[in-house]
């Protein structure tokens, strides 16, 4: 049984029933490294008093533990637990095998592993590597070579197909105590670029993201009734609006874009407050991305032009009242398979600033991967 520390009392009756049915019971304490020595001691004393658990496991659920963490948790457990101890490692930082060896060195008699580390996200300790280390370190008569063919012939193609294993993204999540499922879900979702995943990790590192919450991934406030106070109806009626994106094409075609603005005098909306496009050519800024809000808020405060943004969302992200000279508060809600535009708010299927900016038919003037009408900054206007 694997259980969170906050739910420990709920499993006692279940364990008693399992024991009566003749099972050997291993109780796995998840996210053990997130607990203080006092919390660990309190829970272990309780479990010891039950006298029903055969093996007390602890798990590196977030893949964030290093050798010292393993020693600390094991030492604390052994002060009040007198039975067998097990360890379940995750490989987010590439330390699953090393941590397992340290656990064995410090008294663990059970360790978990899988062939090629197959498992959710970054995966687990690799059976073949762990056996090789045990053979070498303890002169044990294991035969890790018996696994080599199945590892390379069968499991390597599976790993390539299902994309488990350590990576920089999982390592960053682990070091910030972010549940690995967030990274896993973003990696398999084509809506998210690597840059957006990095931004999401940066944003979630400021929150308690140790437990997976799908609503936080989709949008922390997506189901709220998030009406704004600014009425957008008719604000650009009968006017051309030019939205400046944040991609490389803006810099590549900068001269053409600047000439276009000077020639046709559109309303210029900028969705990036930190690039070096001439500020005198920009009329209004816009943002809907939570991680951008967190990293760019200081620049919002310095703006001498209006910014279109959801005030409720911004203040929930920065954790204080927004102090912006001219904030046009346009609400943003995120709901699956929903695209609606209203006077004071919009509802989108996911958080994309371009969707927030342009909830209407558009054409683009520089090359893009979006499947929308193409124009050109160099074309004549008729």
Instruction: Report the DSSP beta bridge partners of residue 242.
Output: 268
Q: CATH 3.20.20.70: which residues of the chain?
A: 2-163
Higher pLDDT, residue 207 or 82 = 82
Confidence of residue 87 (pLDDT cuts 50, 70, 90): very high
- CB 46 within 8 Å of CB 8: yes
Choice among 49-58, 186-195, 255-264, 300-309 with the minimum mean pLDDT: 186-195
DSSP 8-state secondary structure symbol assigned to residue 131:
H
Instruction: Report the DSSP beta bridge partners of residue 308.
Output: 286, 328
Highest mean pLDDT among 157-161, 269-273, 362-366: 157-161
> Rounded to whole angstroms, how far apart are CA atoms 355 and 357?
5
Q: In what order do the strands lie in the sheet with 84-88?
A: 2-3, 26-29, 55-59, 84-88, 110-111
- CA-based R_g, the chain, Å: 27
Q: What is the pTM for the complete model shown?
A: 0.62
User: In the prediction, which pLDDT does 229 show?
Assistant: 93
- CB 307 within 8 Å of CB 284: yes
User: In the prediction, which pLDDT does 355 show?
Assistant: 67
User: In the prediction, which pLDDT does 218 show?
Assistant: 56
Higher pLDDT, residue 329 or 190 = 329
Percent of the chain with pLDDT over 90: 56
Longest dimension (CA), the chain: 85
User: In the prediction, which pLDDT does 199 show?
Assistant: 75
- Is pLDDT at 370 greater than 60 in this prediction? no
- CB 226 within 8 Å of CB 331: yes
Q: pLDDT per residue over 92-147, tens digit each? A: 999 999 999 999 999 999 999 999 999 989 999 999 999 999 999 998 888 899 99
Q: What mean pLDDT comes out for the span 298-315?
A: 91
User: In the prediction, which pLDDT does 39 show?
Assistant: 95
Q: pLDDT per residue over 322-343, tens digit each? A: 999 999 999 888 776 677 888 8
- Is pLDDT at 220 greater than 50 in this prediction? no
- Is pLDDT at 361 greater than 70 in this prediction? no
DSSP 8-state secondary structure symbol assigned to residue 6:
G
- Is pLDDT at 76 greater than 80 in this prediction? yes
User: In the prediction, which pLDDT does 16 show?
Assistant: 95
- CB 110 within 8 Å of CB 85: yes
Confidence of residue 358 (pLDDT cuts 50, 70, 90): low
- Name the class of domain 2-163: alpha beta
Residue 142: both structure tokens together: 């294991």
Q: Which residue has the tokens 């920009």?
A: 282
Q: What mean pLDDT comes out for the span 210-220?
A: 68
Confidence of residue 250 (pLDDT cuts 50, 70, 90): confident
Q: How many CB atoms lie within 10 A of CB 205?
A: 16
Q: What percent helix, strand, coil does the chain show, rounded to 5?
A: 45, 15, 40
Q: pLDDT per residue over 153-180, tens digit each? A: 999 999 999 889 999 999 999 999 999 9
DSSP 8-state secondary structure symbol assigned to residue 266:
P
User: In the prediction, which pLDDT does 379 show?
Assistant: 61
**Averaged confidence pLDDT in the chain:** 86
User: In the prediction, which pLDDT does 196 show?
Assistant: 72
User: In the prediction, which pLDDT does 294 show?
Assistant: 79
- Is pLDDT at 374 greater than 60 in this prediction? no
Confidence of residue 221 (pLDDT cuts 50, 70, 90): very low
- CB 220 within 8 Å of CB 311: no
User: In the prediction, which pLDDT does 223 show?
Assistant: 43
């Amino acid at each position: 049984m694997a259980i969170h520390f906050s739910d420990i009392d709920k499993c006692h009756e279940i364990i008693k029933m399992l024991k009566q049915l003749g099972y050997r019971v291993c109780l796995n304490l998840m996210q053990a490294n997130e607990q203080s020595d006092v919390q660990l001691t309190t829970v272990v004393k309780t479990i010891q008093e039950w006298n029903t658990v055969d093996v007390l496991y602890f798990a590196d659920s977030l893949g964030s533990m290093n050798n010292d963490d393993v020693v600390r948790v094991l030492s604390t457990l052994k002060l009040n637990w007198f039975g067998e101890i097990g360890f379940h490692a995750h490989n987010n930082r590439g330390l699953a095998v090393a941590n397992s060896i340290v656990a064995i060195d410090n008294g663990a008699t059970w360790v978990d592993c899988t062939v090629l580390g197959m498992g959710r996200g970054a995966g687990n300790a690799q059976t073949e590597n762990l056996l090789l280390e045990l053979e070498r370190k303890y002169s044990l008569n294991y035969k890790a070579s018996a696994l080599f063919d199945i590892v390379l012939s069968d499991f390597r193609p599976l790993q390539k197909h299902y994309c488990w294993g350590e990576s920089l993204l999982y390592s960053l999540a682990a070091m910030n105590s972010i549940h690995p499922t967030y990274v896993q879900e973003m990696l398999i979702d084509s809506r998210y670029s690597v840059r957006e995943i990095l931004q999401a990790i940066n944003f979630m590192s400021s929150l308690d993201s140790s437990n997976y919450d799908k609503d936080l991934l989709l949008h922390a406030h997506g189901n709220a009734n998030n009406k704004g106070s600014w009425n957008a109806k008719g604000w650009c009626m009968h006017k051309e609006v030019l939205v400046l994106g944040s991609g490389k094409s803006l810099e590549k075609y900068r001269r053409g874009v600047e000439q276009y603005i000077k020639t046709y005098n559109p309303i210029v909306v900028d969705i990036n407050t930190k690039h070096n496009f001439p500020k005198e050519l920009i009329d209004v800024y816009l943002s809907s991305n939570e991680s951008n809000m967190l990293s760019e808020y200081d620049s919002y405060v310095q703006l001498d032009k209006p910014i279109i943004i959801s005030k409720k969302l911004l203040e929930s992200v920065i954790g204080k009242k927004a102090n912006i000279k001219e904030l046009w508060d346009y609400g943003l809600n995120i709901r699956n398979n929903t695209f609606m535009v209203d006077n004071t708010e919009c509802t989108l299927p996911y958080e994309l600033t371009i969707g927030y900016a342009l909830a209407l038919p558009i054409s683009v003037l520089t090359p893009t991967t979006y499947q929308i009408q193409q124009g050109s900054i160099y074309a004549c206007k008729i």
